[in-house]
Every structure is written in structure tokens, then in C-alpha cells.
Structure 1
């Protein structure tokens, strides 16, 4: 698995594209808007010279890409600053779609601020992994990342398809049958990745610069009871069904593991404190329904079949390139139909939710 090329959101504007299936991520952006606003308003008065540099890490594509930009511009209404936005993602991201959308976005912002003060702003794309250095030392005021940092920089070496060890047979993430040794591999890689991320951003941030980070985690300290475990477990079950039908080789399943890890909030804060690079200004965990179109707060799913379809579409929009690279494109439709059925059965018994961590950090 080559994360730099295989990992990107589903491109295009079709039924299974990320553009048409990213309401879940949009809800998280609106959930964290007050944290973003607070960070911007604290930073604006101390910016010298009067040029604010703001970076969205893992920006992806579509309308969501510009929601964060809008939130920053709105928060700057009382401050006469120029602002440079950098939109970052891996090279496989569809930056061309972003650039094609930019003019219409600028016109929309101008209309919204008609009669008010619109700060001069400039937008640039920056391909590259946020697990590498991206900017000169002390050049950025605010980093933002939403629904990204649960993704690992790579698979643990022992789980890579080329290792041929198959330590996590029948699973694609942490499940009840996953050996503790594999769990520790995931945990160690998470700690290494997050520590590296913090060190890189520390070098790039100005003194007192801030980060607002939102990513999937888990509310239970027991790693075997993580919120992503259910989701990925149903995906593994769906692949097993294709194996039984002779559409996928069992070895293909055994060789596949997702480069993802959902930490507890305590795990995250422990790494931040260990780094001794940032003050934790704010940290909380909120929940979001699996079905992006279910905004209810109740514990019952009204239409499990439709919710199953909605969940399958949202997951396919994110994971399709990874699955296509490993299993081939011919089985994807059947895989996600099976997944929709399995999710619907699960939601009939239990309305499961994502646990989302949001943190605001300030450079020491």
C-alpha cells in the first residue's frame, strides 16, 4: 500500500464521489467553528507584520474545503489583516477541482460581505504529507486539520502486505480476534506519528501559534472497544462474504489492513504532554451519528436500510481508492452493497456513533 498515491478521497462528481458524500465531515466543521473562531481572534492582534498565514492540512476537495476558509475570514472581520491560506493534501488529491471552484467561492464571499470589510485573502495549494516538513521555520500562525489525524503515515511494517506474515488474519483493523501484539503495533505507530506531527508543526509555527485538530477517536479506554472497530469489523465481514462467494481470494483479505487508528483522548493528551512543545488550550470529545443524514439525538434508527446505504456511501467515498488498489475495482459495487446490508442489520440492534476528538493547541 502506497499511502502517498493510493490514499485520497474518491474523485469526480458521481454517486460515490467524496464531493457528494462528505456531509459527515461538514458536520464536524460546523461543530468546531467556535474553537476556530476563538483561535483566529486570539492570533490576529499579535500578527506582525500584518499578514496572517493559515494552513488547512488534509483539505480534500469540494464545498467542505472552503468552509474553514470562510470561518477564518468571518472571524477576522474586526482586524485589518491580509491572510494567506495554504490548502494541503497528498499529491493524489484533486487540487484541480479546488482551483476550478476558487473563483465562484471568492464571488460568494464578496456577496456575503457586501457593505462590510472583506480582508484581502489569497489561496494556494500545497501537495505533500503532513508527516513531513511543509513550511519554513516559524512562518505559520494557524494550522487546522479536520477528519485526518486518525490516518497513519503508513502501515506498521509487520502488517504491510509485502511482509507476508498475516498477523491479523480475517480482520482489516483491530477486532476481538486481533492479537495484542498487533494492537501494540498500531498504538506504537500512532504515538510515533503524532509525536512527529507535533515536532514538525512546532518548527513551522510562530511563537504562540495555534493548531485546531479534529479527528476520529474512541470514548472507551479499552482499545478493543473502539468506535472504529465496529465500522471496520463490518467492512471485514463484507469482504469475508465476497471470499465465500469466490469473488475475493482469502489471502487478499488476510493481507489487507487499514492505516488508521482511533485513539482515546487520554492517549492523545499523553503524547502532547510528552512532546513538551504545546499547551493544550481545549480538548473534548463529541459524538456524531454514523449516518451523515441522521441529525437526531435519539438512540433509535428510524430507517435502518436507508441509513445503511448512507453509511456505505460515506465510507466508500473515503476508502474506495485504498480498496481499489488492493482488491481491484470489479468487486467494489458488490462489496459496498454487502456493507450497506451489514450496517443496516447492526443499526437495527444498536445506534452506533463516531467519537470525534477536537483539540486546540498553542505553541510554547
Structure 2
């Protein structure tokens, strides 16, 4: 699997598109907003003489979340400008993702984004210049010492490649409780290699005193095969294995399919930052969001309108759509398009059953760092 060629969210604005199924990611952005506000406030107060602020969103995808952080950062800076009686800076915004990302959808939304921002900032806003930057963030993307604020949310858990040496991960498509120890080690080592190189590249690109706020899909547990990071993929593996047992797909096709992802713990993220040495850690925080982003009150929610099974069934449908928007391109590249409807039908049944039995959450690890002098 050539990750840079096949890893992208579902395009367009259709029923299975990422644009229409990214509420979980939006809730994570809302949860982590205070950390970004703290970082950008400290940054702006340090760089007041600068007439330009360069903002980067890595793994921007497309849809309603694409401009969420950019808009938030600009509003925070404009508020500070009013408080301190300073002139607004010029904003240079770079939106980055892999080449397969739906950049056309982003470009079509630029005018409405700028108009909305102008309407919300009635006292005015500095000039804003936006560009799309296709390419992997596991490599250099920008000129040396050119970036002030770097953001990434739910993108850095994706690895640059499927780890080597995981051929014996039979019956699994990711790390799992039944994965051999060498598989867990291979995944961790790939994470270390990728994140270390990511930090090296950004260290060259971020100005002294510049900052990054990075949010991973991660885990609290020290066990990489814990359910916190792995259960969502274990249940998809079950759907695929069921299809293999019925001869719909081949068993060896399932055995050779592995997800290029690693959900790190806070200590694993911190360890790599300290080891690389270019950034000082300001904050590391852990948060959680329900698998079913529409369930605001938690999995035990009771209503007079719906039974528990009906709520769970609806939740299984919502989570399936969310995961389909993310995983469908990977599945098509390996198994072909003909199995997609069947695998997600089965996946929904499995998710619905599991969500009636236990609390299901995505764990988020958010890291705020500053480039050392």
C-alpha cells in the first residue's frame, strides 16, 4: 500500500463524504480550542512587531472543519489587536494535505470563508492570503524559519507507511489484543521514526518562538493494543473476517491488509519531543469524545422518544458513516469497490451490538510546543 497515494478522506459532499461525516473531528476541535487560544495568545504577544502571521494546518482535509482553526486563530489575533491597539497583521495561511485530498472543494469555499470572516469581524480584519500545499508532512514542505503557528488535528496518527514485518498479524488489520509482540513493536518503531522526522522538518520551518498544537487520536493506556485505540479497527476486522469465512473475500486478503496508523499515549508523544530536542513542551492534555458524535449526553442517555436499542442502532449508523468517510479509500485500494456496501453493512451491525454493551470513546492526546531559540 502506497499510503501517500491512497490515504485521503472521501471526497465531495455526498452522503458518504468526509465533509458530511466529520462531526467527531469538529467536536475534538471544540474540546481543544482553549489550548490553541493559549498558544496563539502567547505567540502574538511575543511577535507583536511582526507585520505578518504565517499559519499552517497540516492534514486539513476538506469540508466544514477545514477553515475552523484558521478562522479561530485569526479571530483571536484580531481581538488581541483591538485590546492592544495594534494594527492587524497580514495572514498567510497554508492548508496542507496529501495530493489525493479534495483541494477543489476547499478552493470553491474560499470566497464564502472570507466573506463570513469579514461579516463576523465587524471592526475589520487584516488581509488574508490562503494557499493549498499538497504533500506529506513527513518531509519538508515550507522554507526555513517561515512558520509562526502550526496546527494538526486527527492527522498525525496516520503513519507514512504500513510498518514492515507485520505479515504474521493474521486475522487483524491493526494492532489488536491478539497481535504478536513483534507487530506491536513494529508499529511503535514506525511511529517513532515518523514523528521524529516530522519534528526535525518542522524545527527547520518554524521560527524561534513559533508554536505547534498537535492533536492525535491516541490512548491513555500504556498498552498499545488496548481497546482505547484499537477496538474501532478490531470490529472492522471482525466484519472482514466474517466475509472471508463465507468466501466473499479471501482470507489472505484480510491477512495482508493493515491500517497505517498508530494511536500514541501522552508519554510516547512527549518522549519523542524531548529526544528530538528542538521544541519545549508547554502542555500535554488528554480528552475524550463519544464514538457517536450525536450522543451529547453519553452512552447511558435515556429519552422518552427512543428506546435504548433504537439510540444504539442510530449510533451504530452514525459511527459507520464516520468510519466509512475515513476508511473507504483504503479498503477500495486493497479489496476493490465491490465489497464496500457489504463490509459496512456488517460493520454497522457489529458496532451497534458493541455500543449497547459498553461505553465507546475516542481518546485525544493534544500537545502544545514552542520552538526553542
Normalised TM-score (structure 2):
0.93
1:316 aligned partner: 324
2:85 aligned partner: none
1:151 partnered with 2:152: no
1:107 aligned partner: 115
d(CA) in 2 for partners of 1:146, 1:299: 28
1:177 partnered with 2:149: no
Residues 150, 216 of structure 1: 8 Å contact kept: yes
d(CA) in 2 for partners of 1:310, 1:16: 11
Choose from 116, 121, 134 the match for 2:141. 134
Choose from 112, 122, 128 the match for 1:121. 128
Matches within 5 A, 1:165-244: 166-244=167-245
Residues 118, 124 of structure 2: 8 Å contact kept: no
| DSSP 3-state at the match of 2:187 | helix
- Alpha-carbon RMSD across the aligned residues, in angstroms, is 1.3
d(CA) in 2 for partners of 1:355, 1:236: 20
Residues 208, 371 of structure 2: 8 Å contact kept: yes
Residues 279, 370 of structure 2: 8 Å contact kept: yes
1:93 partnered with 2:119: no
2:305 aligned partner: none
d(CA) in 1 for partners of 2:224, 2:43: 37
d(CA) in 2 for partners of 1:85, 1:151: 23
Matches within 5 A, 1:1-364: 1-47=1-47, 48-77=49-78, 78-79=80-81, 80-114=88-122, 116-159=123-166, 166-297=167-298, 299=300, 302=308, 303-364=311-372
| DSSP 3-state at the match of 1:122 | strand
Task: Identify unmatched segments of 5+ residues in structure 2.
Answer: 82-87, 303-307
Task: Identify unmatched segments of 5+ residues in structure 1.
Answer: 160-165
d(CA) in 2 for partners of 1:113, 1:140: 24
Residues 173, 232 of structure 1: 8 Å contact kept: yes
